Amino acid sequence: MEIIEAFESFYSVFEFGLQKMNGSERRIYLAQIALSLGYGGQRLVCDKFGIDNKTLQKGIEEFTSGNFIKDAFSERGRKGIEVYLPNLLNDIKNIVDSESQIDPKFYDNRLFTRLTPEAIREQLYRQKGYKESELPTVQTIYNKVKELGYNFSKIQKTKPIKKIAETDAIFKKNKAD
């Protein structure tokens, strides 16, 4: 009972310390608290700090062995389409390069393409020899084209300069000569 009362009195200090930590530091800190509490300490730490028992066990393992366990969040999840189709980005770039241009007025360096993601997917199927079943979705192609630095837009041709009032007079004078 004294241990629980002591834990309750230092709970705010423990919470403050935990705010500054993450990953294995946090797990090891909680493991030290649980081990110092003795019997029932693990359950108390899990309940009070809202962590899973497996997480605490991982922290105890890290604390006793001295080896940190890598979280590897970046290695989780779905792999990109480039892993399965390594030449896809080059093929998309080749298709889009032939149908792209920069801003006609040279206001910026962005590249525009008049192709739609659906058209790019169709060309990958017809020209580059990909199977329909292995091609990525239209949304994925859209994302990959954006990653390559292209923008989808109908390319507006430069408009002629508006005719000034003296133009007709110049033409009449040239005709007369």
From CA 50, how far away is CA 20, in angstroms rounded?
17
What is the average per-residue pLDDT within 103-116?
A: 74
Model pLDDT, residue 156:
59
Q: Do 33 and 93 reside in the same domain of the chain?
A: no
From CA 7, how far away is CA 145, in angstroms rounded?
56
Torsion angle defined by CA atoms of residues 73, 86, 146 and 103, in that order, rounded to the nearest 10 degrees: 150
Quick one: pLDDT band at residue 113, thresholds 50, 70, 90? confident
Q: Do 39 and 98 reside in the same domain of the chain?
A: no
Can you say whether the dihedral through the CA atoms of 15, 20, 22, 25 is positive or negative? negative
pLDDT in tens, 15-38: 888 888 878 888 898 998 899 888
Q: Do 12 and 60 reside in the same domain of the chain?
A: yes
Model pLDDT, residue 172:
77
Model pLDDT, residue 79:
85
Note the pTM of the prediction, 2 decimals.
0.49
| 104 part of a folded domain | yes
From CA 119, how far away is CA 127, in angstroms rounded?
11
Quick one: pLDDT band at residue 122, thresholds 50, 70, 90? very high
Q: Do 106 and 132 reside in the same domain of the chain?
A: yes
Q: Do 58 and 18 reside in the same domain of the chain?
A: yes
Q: Do 58 and 91 reside in the same domain of the chain?
A: no
Quick one: pLDDT band at residue 105, thresholds 50, 70, 90? low
Q: Do 90 and 44 reside in the same domain of the chain?
A: no
Last residue of a domain, one of 26, 41, 65: 65
User: Total domain count for the chain?
Assistant: 2
Domain membership of residue 36 as a residue range: 2-65
Nearest to 30 by CA among 56, 67, 52, 58: 56
100-102 and 150-152 beta bridge pairing: unpaired
What tokens appear for 69 in the block?
A: 């366990």
The three-class DSSP label of residue 72 is coil
Q: How far is CA 58 from CA 29, 99, 106, in A?
A: 12, 54, 58
Last residue of a domain, one of 22, 40, 65: 65
pLDDT in tens, 161-173: 677 777 777 777 7
